[in-house]
Amino acid sequence: MTSPALRQATAVGAVDGPLAGYHREWYVVRPEGELTRLGRVKIGEPRQGALWFDRRYFASEDELLLELARLGVPRVPPVHRVHSTGTVFHGFIEGRTLASLSPCGRPVAPVHLRQIMERFASLCRLRPGDVRARRLTAGESDGESDGESNGESDSAGFPRVLLDFTRERAYRARLPRFGPLFARLGIPPDALGPGSRLAAEAARMGARPVCLLHGDLHRANFIVDHADALWTIDWELASFGDPLYDLATHLYLMDYPASQQARVVEEWQRTVAPLLPGADARLAEDLPRYLDYKRAQSVFTDVVRQAVAVADAVGSPAFAGQLGQAAKLVHDVLVRAAEPLELSDVPSPGAVELAYADFCTGSQLRASSELHAGSQLRAAPTDRRSGPDSR
């Protein structure tokens, strides 16, 4: 059955093709008629069965992008609406992802790094009262609440909100389907609980002024256009909160070489501190704590995503390759998270592969409607470090 997004795209013009995305199904379109002047655009809708591992804060990415345009934030995708039909589409940023120009682990060119710092500057200038886009209510956002309790007014509480969400939504909510796999991989059931190392570290974190966060600043979410200007796409995980968390997420997902990462932290501090005094408070103590949280969070994300990918390949020629890829990837994230999750022993890649083979060919997995729905995700890359080009 043709999706509503594809029907809308076909009605607007010639469809060039779909884009891979985690949470939305996107189609690139060359508009016809009076819309030709806009160039290529993309039309999307929420992907059915998508698995969410991060907090959603704003009710609509479209609304947020319109607000950013109103506030003069540069190099974000424009949003257009056909009033006669109600169709909403985003401008397609012509260019290449930063991931294709500077793959993970490679240095980022100075001209692009400077523009990444400009993005951080534009974010830290926006405070909660500046942005009118609707926030999700508790009922709309999987148990998250708005206002003071979600970090908008209190950045000192922000780490606790993140940890609570990961524990309840990325771990406990997945236990009915993935509990045996988590246990087989040696993940302690109380690794995110009140008595955990992560909870103790979150309680020690200091307060900083709150600003707008993108929440997903990685190489595939930066588009370099033909003039070498850097655009930022995929604002679905934007929120208000602790600016240091945005830096930590960026560092973790970008995977800079160690020598450049130190310079990035220095440049961030030099850029943001004068614009948002106090944003760099206790940076040396709290940045490592946020990075530990990101390492732990990635375990719960990747264990499930890779189970979806392997399950989707069962019975196909791609199964063996997908299984091997999943084993290496999950072993790597377990090694990185061993200390923050207090793992007593990390299984070898071979043991991880065997765990996935047993789990993904068992009746429990085949009976899981969540996994079959999630198969639309296909093979998702680790922590979105080399994520899809969803411009």
With contact defined as beta carbons under 8 Å apart, do 167 and 143 qualify? no
Integer CA distances (angstroms), 323 to 306, 310, 334, 358, in order: 9, 6, 16, 11
Give the mean model confidence (pLDDT) for residues 1-26.
80
Q: Give the HSE-up count for residue 265: Cα atoms under 13 Å, Cβ half-sphere.
A: 20
Which CA distances in Å does 373 have to 23, 180, 207, 267, 308?
13, 20, 40, 43, 9
pLDDT of residue 152: 65
Handedness of CA 66, 69, 73, 75 (dihedral sign): positive
Backbone angles phi, psi at 384, to 5 degrees: 65, 20
pLDDT at 121 over 70: yes
Which of 261, 231, 235, 233 lies closest to 247, judged by CA?
261
Q: Which of 293, 270, 292, 288 minimizes the C-alpha distance to 280?
A: 270
Q: What is the pLDDT of residues 61-75, one digit of tens each?
A: 999 999 999 999 999
73/144 Cα distance (integer angstroms): 27
Among 30-34, 139-143, 372-376, name the one with the lowest average pLDDT: 372-376
Question: Is 277's pLDDT higher than 80?
Answer: yes
**pLDDT confidence of 379, banded at 50, 70, 90?**
very low
Assign 143 a pLDDT band (cuts: 50, 70, 90). very low
- Exposed (0-12), middle (13-18) or buried (19+): which is 192, by Cβ within 10 Å? buried
- Higher-confidence residue of 99 and 4: namely 99
Tell me if 360 sits within 8 A of 305, measured CB to CB. no
Q: What is the pLDDT of residue 305?
A: 94
Q: What is the pTM of this model?
A: 0.89
Q: What percent of the chain has pLDDT over 70?
A: 87
| pLDDT greater at residue 154 or residue 308 | 308
Residue 333's pLDDT is what?
Answer: 98
CA proximity to 233, closest of 81, 71, 68: 68
8 A C-beta contact, residue 212 and residue 223: no
Task: Specify the range with the lowest mean pLDDT, choosing from 18-27, 61-70, 109-118.
Answer: 18-27
How far is residue 249 CA from its own chain's centroid? Answer: 9
Confidence band (pLDDT; 50, 70, 90) for 112?
A: very high
Kindly report the average pLDDT of the chain as a whole number: 88
Q: Which range, of 169-178, 247-256, 313-322, 358-367, averages the lowest pLDDT?
A: 358-367
3-class state of residue 18 by DSSP: strand
Q: What pLDDT, in 10s, does the model give residues 30-54? A: 988 878 888 999 988 877 767 788 9
Per-residue pLDDT, 391 = 59
Tokens standing for 123? 């974010």
Please report, rounded to a whole number, the percentage of residues in the chain having pLDDT higher than 90.
72
Structure tokens at 239: 């929120």
pLDDT at 159 over 50: yes
pLDDT tens sequence across 233-275: 999 999 999 999 999 999 999 999 999 999 999 999 999 999 9
Tens-digit pLDDT profile for residues 187-234:
999 999 999 999 999 999 999 999 999 999 999 999 999 999 999 999
Question: How far apart are alpha carbons 75 and 221 in whole angstroms?
Answer: 12
